[in-house]
Amino acid sequence: MKHLISPLDLSVSELKEILDLAGEIINEPKKYANSCNGKKLATLFYEPSTRTRLSFEAAMLNLGGSVLGFSSADSSSAAKGESVADTIRVISSYADICAMRHPKEGAPLVASTYSSIPVINAGDGGHNHPTQTLTDLLTIRTLKGRLNNLTVGFCGDLKFGRTVHSLINAMVRYENINFVLISPDELKIPTYLREEVLDANQIPFKEVKVLEDVMPELDLLYMTRVQKERFFNEEDYIRLKDSFILDSKKMEYAKSDMLVLHPLPRVNEISTEVDDDPRAVYFKQAEYGVYVRMALIMKLLEVKAC
Ligand code: CP
């Protein structure tokens, strides 16, 4: 494994190795404090981010390495017309590994073909977000105790939500997974996911429009934001943005051990009154993102605790 572009670049056993290492890092962080001494991570973010960029940077700093990079296309030479291919050729001589977020689907894949350092896809358009998937899987495995035998509800913008696409792709490889897809018609999962992933793997799923109706059957509820930046016109966004709002009343329908996840940022799709519910784990989930990215950096750079 040299790059991480799609969640499927990792086999189930490689995923397990990374999650196991993340678990060891959580238990004994000091043991890993010098694992990346002298190594540099470049964060090439052509699109806004809080968690992904800063958790990557925190991860590298926690490992004893250093970070460099840019946080918007405007503050890089992309604003002057430089291609991703030329940028990554140059960055390959400045850093040992890079994380790239880009609004265009496939941009990190293109970068990986010109790069001599590992490229990590930190989110490409509405396509994939494999390190969010690692974060989600670590959260589920740690707090739920398993990655199989789960009924998982995805709610909100399932069309443009790259975190949903990546997590579905990753989870179909575990046993006895059922999906409940909760969205308005306009924001249903893309056809390729339905046909090439769910149908092709004979994964049971249903598509519904009312969250309350399905709450009692869920083991996990993965809420998502309606992705304003991916809409072609504001009218559609305004019409759809408040389709689902999870509040304390709706949480009354849920199992006592159902977990609520959200990749964040949240806008208004989870009422703040839910934050104090012990089943709401989205802030813990964001914290796990640092540990799993530490584990990923270690794996890609082939370094150990020292
Ligand atoms: N979850 C996630 O990707 O958050 P950011 O957009 O803040 O990085």
Q: What is the pLDDT of residues 105-129, one digit of tens each?
A: 999 999 999 999 999 999 999 899 9
Give the residue-averaged pLDDT of 202-231. 91
Q: pLDDT (tens digit, 9 = 90+) per residue, 62-82? A: 999 999 999 999 999 999 999
Q: Are residues 266 and 225 in the same domain?
A: yes
Q: Is the CB of 132 under 6 A from ligand 1?
A: yes
Q: pLDDT (tens digit, 9 = 90+) per residue, 227-283? A: 777 766 777 777 777 778 999 999 999 999 999 999 999 999 999 999 999 999 999
Q: Are residues 196 and 276 in the same domain?
A: yes
Q: Are residues 178 and 195 in the same domain?
A: yes
For ligand 1, the distance from its centroid to the CA atom of residue 202, given in whole angstroms, is 31
Q: Give the atom of ligand 1 at the shortest distance from the alpha carbon of 52.
A: 8
Q: What angle do CA 11, 155, 125 make, to 5 degrees?
A: 60
pLDDT score of 231 = 67
pLDDT score of 145 = 97
pTM: 0.95
Buried b or exposed e, range 198-210, using 16+ CB within 10 angstroms: beeeeeebeeeee
Active-site residue flag, 144: no
- Tell how far CA 101 is from the center of its chain: 12
Give the residue-averaged pLDDT of 138-142. 98
pLDDT score of 271 = 96
The parent domain of residue 91 ranges over 7-128+289-301
The CB-side HSE value for 281 (13 A sphere, CA atoms) comes to 22
Please check the confidence at residue 131 and state whether its pLDDT lies above 90.
yes
Q: Give the atom of ligand 1 at the shortest distance from the alpha carbon of 264.
A: 1
Q: Are residues 139 and 268 in the same domain?
A: yes
Among residues 172, 166, 152, which one has the least CA distance to residue 9?
166
Q: Is the CB of 264 under 6 A from ligand 1?
A: yes
Q: Which amino acid is at 100?
A: M
Q: Are residues 78 and 151 in the same domain?
A: no
Q: pLDDT (tens digit, 9 = 90+) per residue, 151-179? A: 999 999 999 899 999 999 999 999 999 99
Q: Give the atom of ligand 1 at the shortest distance from the alpha carbon of 123.
A: 3
State the Cα–Cα distance between residues 169 and 69, nearest whole angstrom. Answer: 30
Q: Whose CA is nearest to atom 6 of ligand 1?
A: 49
Q: Is the CB of 50 under 6 A from ligand 1?
A: yes
Q: Are residues 240 and 106 in the same domain?
A: no
Q: pLDDT (tens digit, 9 = 90+) per residue, 16-47? A: 999 999 999 999 999 999 999 999 999 999 99
Active-site residue among 129, 141, 159, 293?
A: 129
Q: Provide the domain count of the chain.
A: 2
